[in-house]
Structure 1
Amino acid sequence: MDPINHLHRRLATINCKATIIPVSRAAEIRDEIFRRNVTGDIHPDLYRLWLTPLFEAAEKKLNGAKSLIVTAAPQYPLSVEFRVQDKTFTTRVPPTYTHGTDYLIHYLITDVLTGYGLTARKAVLPLKLTAVRSGLAAYGRNNVTYVFGMGSFFRLAAFYSDLEPPEDAPWEEAQAMETCDRCLSCVQACPTGAIDDKRFLIRAEKCLTFFNEREQGFPDWIDPSWHNCLVGCLRCQLVCPMNKRHEKSIQFSVAFTEPETERILSNRMSDLPVPMQTKLDQLGLTDYLPVLARNLETLMVKAG
């Protein structure tokens, strides 16, 4: 069996889909995003805070690579429980945060390629655009990506490899799904107006995620009742018809004890006990410790 077919069959055992494209496409992704920044389609704060560091890290990992392996594995929202005064408060974390799936996929890819004398290493790229251009995913009107059979509930990853890419590797235009032309569900569900039905790119600088992932205080115009996740936002995805069969699916649940909850609310997030640190690692929230107290308190006040 050739390595590409072997790789696809192995990843299919965990319902993971993949495309393999020439590594030169990474430069095209960088150039496309740079053009969008120049034309003003991307807010300068987003480009400076998220994309510039991403491309700087990507340049350091390209040596010797011939291909990009882009993967999508099913991954649903996570349920998070907090105990407060003998009561349980439950919220969610979107599926994009927890990255345990990445390690499993990297292991499976490496296990296959090693048998052919090949290697793979994690790539740092704008994953949504890469997945869409590679033909693995499609954009929704909300700029969230969708994979057939998974909706928008999956985890994207990419890996540099010395595997030769197929000669007929796909390279698609970045555009929204045709079904979005007949639907405004996400536009109507977005309370901040980040999704504009007259524009392809959302105004990410107005998205709730942009605000609740950062330490700066929430602007006065954001209604506390709009928040719906510990970090991030699921409003546009939960109303999407493409997610109807998955809207109640949960990947796994994590429960914080009352002392752990109190520690989060009081923002005492250094030198955490191992069990508490493990839970935060499972949720993929270790990079967001400074905002958890504010976000959790906002959600609890909303719930009354």
Structure 2
Amino acid sequence: MTPVLPLAILWAFIFACHAAPTVLAPSDVPVAQLHHFRSWVQYAAAAYCHDNTAAAPGHKLTCRVNNCPFVEEADTAVLRTLPNSGLTLTDTTGFIALDHTNQAIVLAIRGGTSARNTFFEFNFFLVQTDLCRGCMVEKGFLTLWSAIRAEALQAIEQAIAQNPNYEVIIVGHSLGASLATLAAVDVRKRGHTATLYSFGSARVGNRAFAAHVTAQTGNYRITHTVDPVPKLPLVAMGYSHTSPEYWITAPDNTTVETDEIEVLTGLVNWNGNSGTGFPSPLDFHAHFWYLCAFVRVSESSCRARQGVTTHDTRWSFKVLLALASSGASWLLDLER
């Protein structure tokens, strides 16, 4: 039996094999842009609330512990909720809502909260997609997006037809951010303009896919310090990130200022989150703090149901176990 290489060796292998040129464009984000980040992330927070993802059409979006004042102060109405854990094998959910105050059509996709999400989320296999020529995306992400795709796109098309002057905003955190990336490409392929705000997204596809998304306008991929999720799947497995990256360098539970977000460019860039070391379970605090960074609430802020928090620590370890297993398998295949 071929021994499994330690994760430290795997990490060194990644740096050695991927010396592709990167471009660094360090700069502070404008005040207005930081305001947008603080505002639209609250829709990602609202997607963790069961009251919003199981609501009837016309429901006004709410957050039980006042963690989304931007959303609650707006004149909002849910158009459609996406299949929840009771309806789909994949346990993927979210909502499409109208924000009349800010004249926006918002698609918000919830992050992962269950073992079912984890099973589909991190298969690490690249598969073909018709989103663009030569593009491949992670199989699990494509499976999850496909589970809600038809309903989401239909609702967005109807909303655009009825509100032609509204902008389309697509948001997500964690798993929701990865699916939001696929959703944005799908919406744009249909000839619509869409702005994407992804918080803590994993790498979604290959270099061709990342380049295709990067060539489009309106992408804001936000990472935070040592968050391990954006480091997955590994670059050595054929994955690349979209550009630019907005890397929050501020520690947990602080107010983020404009000079604490670095703007980095390049499909493979080791100067931001990706260069902060191998993904570790000890660093998941940085992943859970995205919502707190902007709305100052605790990790368990918006409970889907009593006793169920937005994230399960066991889920975090399962992701890294999947990484270790898949990474080792990938290296063994390479040796053959």
Q: Which has the larger radius of gyration?
A: 1
Which TM bucket (shorter chain)?
under 0.3
Compare relative contact order (CA 8 Å, sep 6+) and give the higher one, 1 or 2.
Answer: 1
TM-score, normalised relative to structure 1: 0.26
